[in-house]
Structure 1
Amino acid sequence: MKLQQIPGKILEKILSRAFQLAAWDRTSLTKIHRRNDLQHIGTEYGGWVVPINLLDAQSICYCVGCGEDISFDLGLIDKFNCHVFAFDPTPRAIKYVKNMTLKNSQYHFFEVGLWEKEDKLKFYAPKNPSHVSHSLLNLQKTDNYIELKVKRLSQMMQENGHEKIDLLKLDIEGAEYKVIDSIIEDRIDIRIICVEFDECFNPIDNRYKTRVRSSVNNLLVNGYTMVYSQGKGNYTFVRTSRWQK
């Protein structure tokens, strides 16, 4: 039987299973280098898979994009007894985070978003008013927006007195492209990067896979390997080589 003769849903399952068995991510066309220390931390919705052998009580973790689920952030503190620095400028997220972390001295929250430079930009609301995430790229093509403060990652690190980050989580509704570019440009020392490419859920156009692959490749050629894919553009990367002089 030819591929063209196989029903669409069945073909999709076959292809997905083939990529899974070969340890390749289908969206980014990237080899997944599996590790034996990977563990899921947080809820099914807000959690991430990380290599636990690379984190400890001294680890500095930056979690960018909080929304109304910081189970991953708090899970890092519970498991490793480390300090988490979290960032989200949207009003509902600010209210939620402050209520959840009022007495947590190891959780440090900043009412600012990340971008390529310090600025005040339009964050567009989601189509569903019950959802919390706003987008700088207006991924859901809405008209309503709020103007909020953003900064460059290296600037935030300098203000916090950090020369390196052990873990960076990016769930920032399309702004991840610019932030990843800034990481490469500034040659920031980050051991683990967890990133969601939100265009996999709300693409601006049909070239979204090209943009995702380009951003992933930018990480790969600069010393990172993909160690886990949750599917639909959620990845965990580990830095395996130092910056070239």
Structure 2
Amino acid sequence: MSSMIFQRHPRYAILVFVLLAGTVWLLYSEGGHAGQSGPRDLSVTARVERAETIYQRTLKGRETLIKKFGPTPNQIAMFPPDENPWPPYTAWDFFPPAFNCPHERERVGTLGDGGKWVCGLSQVENKPDCVVYSFGINGESSFEAEILARTNHCQIWGYDFSVNSFGPEIAVADRHRTHFHAYGLAGKDNHGPDSDIKYYTLQSLMAMNGHDHIDILKIDVESWEFEVVTAFVEPFLRSGKPLPFGQLQIELHTWEKKFPDILEWWQKLEQAGLRPFFQEPNLVYNNYNRGRDQDLTEYSFINIRGDTAFVSPPKDE
């Protein structure tokens, strides 16, 4: 029946062909096919640039949301009470993970507590000088173990004063690529002879280890993250130099924090070139508190400035 229609109405057949061809072209050129975040043939640089364009629109949306519920940051509650009039937001609505990872995005490590969301682990699979820092071990190292298992050269430096080593997940064959110290991470050094716990800044630890870059930086330090990240980022903001790490996996503990403080801290990260590409609320904590507290959440950031394995084009691009 359809063949008869095409024979009797060739113009109709041509029109159908043109529409189908146009649809296929749009799917492949605009990333409309399933599982794609953009054009298949876009360079890494182009994917990052397009993701940044989208992210900048999100920043305008944040301004609009603040004016709607504020209208100033000082008037924004982190987690409004369930009262009338009921404001339909939480603090996390102002900080969506709106940046598209330019590579594969996956959870590395165990499902549940311990795993982290990473952008483009494949980009450091064979990197000869791959460096990973992990702050906050707490006896569980599935994240670090999977990085070691899936890369050929990555070395991991772990720090946690509450335990004596990495967790048991790390295979014996990979332990030669791990380095553990029972140190704490802080905004200022404090490691004198009278100190029960030795605290170091991230700058000091990098200098001690002879590192000028970190590919993947994981921080889970029970609310100290605001102080330590600020202390590390601010000198780079003053100098205009890019941050020396490729991406950041961090858990935020916003206990007793006010929205203007979180906003100011977050904007420093953005100014330094960090862009959130994933968020995962700590649902275990939320469940234990019967849904009353939502002030713990995981974020993953990618650094869009500088020469890193995750945003710099490969040599053959």
TM-score, normalised via structure 2 length: 0.54
2:259 maps to 1:195: no
Matched-pair contact (CA < 8 Å) for 2:139–2:167: no
The DSSP-based 3-state class of the residue aligned with 1:105 is helix
CA offset at residue 197 of structure 1?
0.7
1:216 pairs, out of 266, 275, 278, with 266
- 5 Å-filtered alignment, 1:73-152, equals 73-81=144-152, 82-90=154-162, 93-94=163-164, 97=166, 103=172, 104-120=175-191, 147-152=196-201
- 5 Å-filtered alignment, 1:1-245, equals 26-30=92-96, 32-35=98-101, 37-43=104-110, 44-52=112-120, 53-58=122-127, 59-81=130-152, 82-90=154-162, 93-94=163-164, 97=166, 103=172, 104-120=175-191, 147-187=196-236, 188-199=243-254, 203=255, 205=256, 207-231=257-281, 232-242=296-306
Which string of whole-angstrom CA distances, capped at 9 and with x for unpartnered residues, describes residues 43-71 of structure 1?
12100000124433432110111002111
AA matched with 1:163: D
Alpha-carbon distance between aligned partners in 2 of 1:98 and 1:197, rounded to the nearest angstrom? 22
Shift in alpha-carbon separation, 1:57–1:107, aligned structure 2, 3 A: farther
Larger of the two Rg values belongs to structure: 2
Alpha-carbon distance between aligned partners in 1 of 2:306 and 2:197, rounded to the nearest angstrom? 35
Matched-pair contact (CA < 8 Å) for 1:32–1:229: no
Alpha-carbon distance between aligned partners in 1 of 2:268 and 2:96, rounded to the nearest angstrom? 12
Which string of whole-angstrom CA distances, capped at 9 and with x for unpartnered residues, describes residues 100-156 of structure 1?
6594101111111111221159xxxxxxxxxxxxxxxxxxxxxxxx94111011111
Matched-pair contact (CA < 8 Å) for 2:140–2:169: no
Alpha-carbon distance between aligned partners in 1 of 2:93 and 2:233, rounded to the nearest angstrom? 22
Which string of whole-angstrom CA distances, capped at 9 and with x for unpartnered residues, describes residues 9-47 of structure 1?
xxx9x868xxxxxxxx82553451133511101112100
Shift in alpha-carbon separation, 1:57–1:213, aligned structure 2, 3 A: farther
Shift in alpha-carbon separation, 1:39–1:102, aligned structure 2, 3 A: closer
AA matched with 1:80: T
Alpha-carbon distance between aligned partners in 2 of 1:178 and 1:57, rounded to the nearest angstrom? 34
Shift in alpha-carbon separation, 1:29–1:100, aligned structure 2, 3 A: closer
Report the identity percentage: 19
Pairwise CA RMSD: 2.9
Matched-pair contact (CA < 8 Å) for 1:83–1:107: yes
Matched-pair contact (CA < 8 Å) for 1:64–1:170: yes
Which protein is richer in strand relative to its size? 1
Structure 1 residue runs without a partner (length 5+):
1-7, 17-24, 122-145
Structure 2 residue runs without a partner (length 5+):
1-81, 237-242, 282-295, 308-317
Q: Give the 4+ runs in structure 1 shifted more than 6 A.
A: none
TM-score, normalised via structure 1 length: 0.69
- Residues matched between the structures, number: 194
